[in-house]
Every structure is written in structure tokens, then in C-alpha cells.
A and B are shown apart, each in its own frame.
Chain A
Amino acid sequence: MTLRLGSRILANTVVWGYALVILGPTLWVLSNAFKFKIDIITGATISPFTWINFHELLFSRQSDFLTNLLNSAVIGIASTAIVIVVATMAAFTLTCLNVRPWVRWALLGWALLFHMLPTLTFVGSWYLMFSSVGLHGTYFAVIMTHAVHNLPMALFLMMSFVGALPRELIQAARMDGCSYGQVFWRIAFPLVRGGMIAATALTFIFSWSDFAISLTLTSRDTMTVPVAIATFAQEYDIRYGEMAAGTLLSIVPALLLILLGQNFIVRGLLAGAVK
């Protein structure tokens, strides 16, 4: 028993030690939101307190941060919803049902191939496609490109989670006379919720922090948070304080959305499963 206790203490120390490694730098970064630039660049830990960075971020004429937050939320939520629905359905079909092998290989192979290419090599093509049909700078353009950009990862993740489902369960449901659709909605969907939450969180985070696509495809009205924050990394003047303030304001809603979203999904699915 003493050994068990000892190893447990060791494990706890390691975990909280790691938490400290994460938390320390993050808190330091966020604390910069309340500092003057001179104190940030001299690495001062204790320094005069100021709201000036938030003031610049929220009220200066070139900055429209609240709109950017709203844009990021709209784009993040919409593209994530699309990705998760599309990926989960496709993952279930590809994993559990009889699909012709070439269909499976073509779809997955293409997804992986596309995912491996550097984003910056094809944003130009997207700009061209969307501007030639007059959709450049719209939510639609950004949402769809974010969706397709994050789809490969979500697809593979969902396949791994669906693949971990007990095969017998699906087999049994089919024996009972369920159609594919019914098996999906009643058996698979509720059971992969853990994986789905993780995939949702990751997809949302990737959309929330995307820079390359958003930069090219947004206009002033649809500009997202990372692009807005990047405007403070200027050629001759990196405005750390404003960047930190922007980060602080963008982390809070992102974490809230992830956590609330988790609750929402879990509860919704549990409710569905109980029926």
C-alpha cells in the first residue's frame, strides 16, 4: 500500500508539474495584456497596471475586435458543425458498411493527400475560385474552406472512434432488422460521442486559430480574430500588449464554446440514447 501511495504522489507531482509548465508561460503571456510595452520587453514580472492595451484593441479606429470575435464564432461554429456531421456520417459508412474498396481508398487517399499539402499553396486558387463567382469575402467562402480544410482530420479521427465500437453490436442491430440509417442514428452516433467531442473541439480550435485561409478569403467585414491579432505584429513595432489583450479576449469565448459545446453534445446525445 505504501508503494502505491508513493507512486501516486509521484504521478500527481508530475501531472501538476506539467500543468505548471503550461500555465506559467500562458499566464505570463496573458498578464502582458495589462502591462506597458516597456515592461513587457524588459521581461518585468511585477509592473504598473494599465488598461491601455484593451483600450487600443477595442476602441481605436483601426480595430474592430468585437466584430472579429463574432466573425470567428460564426465561422468556427458553422464550419465545425458541417465538418462533424459530414465526417461522422462518412466515417460510419466507410468503417462499418460494405463500401466498394476503391471508393474507400479514393476518398481516404485524397483526403490524406490534400491534408499533406501546405495550405499556402492553394489559398491562391481558392481566392480565384470564390472571387470569380463573386463570393470573396463572404462568410460562405470562409466557412466552406475551413470545413474542407479540417475535414480530412475529422474524418480519420471519427473513423478511429467508430472503428473502436464493438462490431457485434452493429451486427446485432442489423440482424434485428435495422436499416443502415437506423443503426447509425440509434447505435453508432450515441456511442462515439466521446470521440466526437474531441474531434469537435479540435476542429473548432483549428478553425478558430486559422490564419492563412482567413487572411486571403476574408474582407474587412468578415475578418477573424487571428488576422486581427496579426495586425499588431507590425513591421517595425510588435505590439505585444495588444496581442496579449486580443489573445485573452479570444481564449475566453473559445474555451467557453468548447466546454459548453461539450455539455450540449453530451446531454443531447444522452437524451437521445435514453429514448
Chain B
Amino acid sequence: MQSFITPFSRRSMLRACAAAFIVAAGAGAALAQSQPPITMAINQSPWLNSFVAMVDEYEKETGNKVELDVTPFGGLLEKIRNSVRGAQGAYDIVNVNSLWLSEIYSGGFLAPLGDVQAGYGLPEGVLTYGDTTNWDAEAGTFAGGGALMGVPVNGNVQVLYYNTDIYAKLGLQPPKTWDELLANAQAIQNEGEAYGFVPRAARDSIVYNFTPYLFSHDAAFFRIAGSGKADVVVNSPEALKALETYVKLATESGPPGPGNIAQGELIQLLATGKGAQAIAVIAAWGQLEDPNASRVVGKIDAALLPAGPAGTVASSAGHWVAGIPRNVPPEKQKAALAFLDWFAAKERQVDYVRAGGVPVRGDITGADLGDDAAFRFIGAYSQNAQHAVMGLPFAQAAEASDAMALSLNRAVIGEMTPAQALNQAAADLAGVLERNGFAVTKLPDL
């Protein structure tokens, strides 16, 4: 739809722009090192202020300009699509949510960073969140060996939140396994003052939230077996164990009606002290520590997610990656990369955390931040970030996620047994994969 209406071909537009730019660049050549101004599409978010602080610092330090086009979260994907699909992009940097990465990568909209600047690689220490910064176009999946597509700008992963007051009162320890988490939850629930564990099982986000349970049980939704082949394994016995754990936690030691609990309710319960434990993204930290929004300031801590039976840990990646679109002039692309590279350096990332951001490096320790209690999350964050996974690493992730969400949600609200739900999810996932050209094998029904 997007391309038949434009009277000019993309290439001719690009060439015209490039030509215009060479002239402009020639005129500005006297200003050595300085970069043309760039525009970045970014969402309004709790961490935006910290990012703005970094932009200010960059502008002050280098004299270059970075303009931010701030959009509601619910509208950013549309704005990005509109810009990167056009003949000439409106944005020199697009901030892509982990849920949209595979779509934007596979569509070929971004310039691999190695093309923008020959041989560019991510600075040492920057996290890749389950190789999600690299895309293997051949296999159609994230892969460390694929082309580098972007630099993370906000490292959001899930952590286990717990209320230290309640823990101290009941003499509990942060759980190492799912069974320990469940035992803690039941102890708290029985005590009666707070819900033991707040699940997030609303249909919209259930696949994302089920992912750490699944992967820590050494299971997966599917596995790509060479190009064009996929094995659907979501109905494995390990996956069943994972879903049973998930449902048990959601239904036995938490608030009733888990089928419609979304992030808002989860944070509400944690912030009021009504919820004692929950798995949520680290981006919620700021709110829980804000006295205007929370009654548990200083009483919440974060930990590594529980491990599965074989000791595996997994945390769903919910980070943001900044990519550089193909449809902007090369000079702008270079300017964009210069900013992103500047941003990822360790000393800036320390500043970023101090300004309230979530870093994108795994090598920042409490000591770097002067062991300030306000940043006590940093250890748990780094640990979880090392175990970040992308549950559905292929182009049609959104479609697959929506297809399976219904069955999982039904298992939580009791309309299906876990086994039925997984069989149905496997059939739905296989359908999505087949429709998109994969040769699919499937495990027998549970």
C-alpha cells in the first residue's frame, strides 16, 4: 500500500537527497568534527527525563544538536512505520521497543551499523539482551553472528520485586527457585496482610510474562532449525511444568481475578504495600521509590528471577534499541551513530543511571555509583540482564504472541487446563509459522 502512491522511486529520492547533502556538507566542511542536527523518534516514558539529560550533556559537550520527537507510547510504532516506510525518513534515529524489533529488522528498514561506519561494533560491555541487537536476515532471527542493527538505549528487563518489610517480619529470604517463590508467597498470603505474589496475566501481556517461566524450565515456544524450518515445542512436558507453576502462582497466592491484572494493577498493588512480591520490569523502580506515588519507598528490593529445576534463569527482555533508518542521508546516519556511540560509553551510562535511567551496560556496579542506596537495584538488574531472552525471535512475533495469549489466559482463568492450553497454543503457533512459510514440526499433544 505504501509504495504505489509515491510518484518518485525511493532510489531517485535518496539520490536527490544525497546530492543535496553533499553540497550542504561541503559548505559546512570548515566546521571540523561537528555533525548535522538529527531527529530521534522516542516515546514519552518514566525514563525520558534521564535520556533528555544525556542529550543535553551531548549537546553541551560536542555542540551537535539532537532533537527529540516525543510521542505517546501507544503511537510510536505507527510513527516509526510511517517514517521508515516512506521514500525519505522523518527520523534519523528510531527508538524501537523489543516487541517491535523483529518486524523493523526483518523489513530491512534499518541501516546495519557496519554500513554506516565500516567495521563498527558495539562498545565492549554493552548488553545485547539475548543477541537482539543483531539480525540474521538469512535465517530470519536474532543471532550474534548477524548484522549489528542498533544500540540499546534503555535496558529494561524483568526483575523480582519484593517488599523487604514483609520479608523481615516473616523471616523470608529472596527465593532462588520457583518453589521457594511459591513457598514465600503462600507464607505471606497465609499471614493475611498482603497478597503473596501479584501475577501479571492480562491477555495483552501474558506471553511476555510467561516467557521467563518457560525458558527457565529449559523449554521454549519454538526453535528455528536452520533456515525456513521451525520446531514448535511449546507443548513439551517442561513447558507444561512451567505453565503449571505460572497458574499456581497466579491463582493460589495472589489477588483474585488474575486474568485482567495488567502492569497498572501490579504496580498499584506493589506501591501500596498490598502486594509483597511480583515480577515486573526494572522501569517500574522509579515509581516505587517516588514518595508521591508509593507507600513503600525504601522498602522494596529487586532480585534475580527464580531458577527452573535445572538451575536455568531467564528474564524477558523489554528493552529499547535505537536504530538508524536507511532512508536518511549518510551524513545524518553518521551523526546518529556518533551520538549513540557517545551514549553507550561507560562514564555516560553511569551519568544516565544517576539521572534515573536504566543502563544498557552490564559492567556498572554499585561501587561506580558510590554505593548509593537509591541505586541498590543495579546488581539485580545486571544479573537479570545477562539472562535476558526474546521469547519469539522472528518477524511475526506479534501475530504469534496474540495467537497464544488467548490459550494461556484461559488457563489462568480456569477455562482450560494447562495441557489443553499448551496444545492449543502449539497448534496456533504452528499455524502462524506455516502461514509465514516455515516448514513446521510439532510435538505430539500432551
* A contacts, CB < 8 Å to B: 36-38, 41-42, 52, 61-62, 123-125, 127-129, 131-132, 215-216, 219-220, 227, 230-238
Contacts and interface: CB of A to CB of B under 8 A. Distances in A.
A197 to B, nearest CB: 33
A129 B5 contact: yes
B71 A231 contact: yes
B358 to A, nearest CB: 11
Given A124-B1, A129-B5, A235-B73, A37 B292 contact: yes
A38 B82 contact: no
B268 A62 contact: no
B293 interface: yes
B264 interface: yes
17 contacts: A38-B292, A62-B49, A62-B70, A125-B1, A128-B82, A128-B86, A131-B86, A215-B72, A216-B82, A231-B71, A231-B72, A234-B46, A236-B46, A236-B287, A237-B45, A237-B284, A237-B287
B267 A236 contact: yes
Given A38-B271, A132-B6, A132-B7, A230 B292 contact: no
Nearest to B87: A132
A235 B156 CA distance: 12
Contact of B293 (A38, A61, A125, A227): A38
A42 B295 CA distance: 10
A236 B283 CA distance: 7
A234 B1 contact: no
Contacts of A231: 44, 70-72
Interface residues of B, number: 41
Interface string B255-284: 000000001100110011000000001011
A230 B82 CA distance: 19
Interface of B: 1-2, 5-7, 43-46, 48-49, 52, 69-75, 78-79, 81-82, 86, 263-264, 267-268, 271-272, 281, 283-284, 286-287, 290-295
Contacts of B79: 215-216
Nearest to A226: B72
B333 to A, nearest CB: 21
A36 to B, nearest CB: 5
B264 A230 contact: no
Nearest to B274: A42
A230 B75 contact: yes
A41 B268 contact: yes
B272 to A, nearest CB: 6
Given A41-B272, A220-B69, A231-B70, A237 B46 contact: yes
B292 A36 contact: yes
A61 B268 contact: no
Contacts of B2: 124, 128
Contacts of A128: 1-2, 5-6, 82, 86
Q: Which among A125, A215, A231, A233 has the highest number of chain B CB atoms within 10 Å?
A: A231
List the 8 closest A-B pairs by CB distance, nearest first: A37-B293, A231-B44, A230-B72, A215-B75, A237-B46, A236-B283, A231-B72, A235-B73
A132 B5 contact: yes
Nearest to A41: B268
Nearest to A64: B70
B9 to A, nearest CB: 13
A265 to B, nearest CB: 34
A112 B1 CA distance: 24
B295 A38 contact: yes
A42 B273 CA distance: 11
B161 to A, nearest CB: 13
A125 B6 CA distance: 11
Contacts of B295: 38
Contacts of B281: 236
Contacts of B268: 41
Contacts of A124: 1-2, 78, 81-82
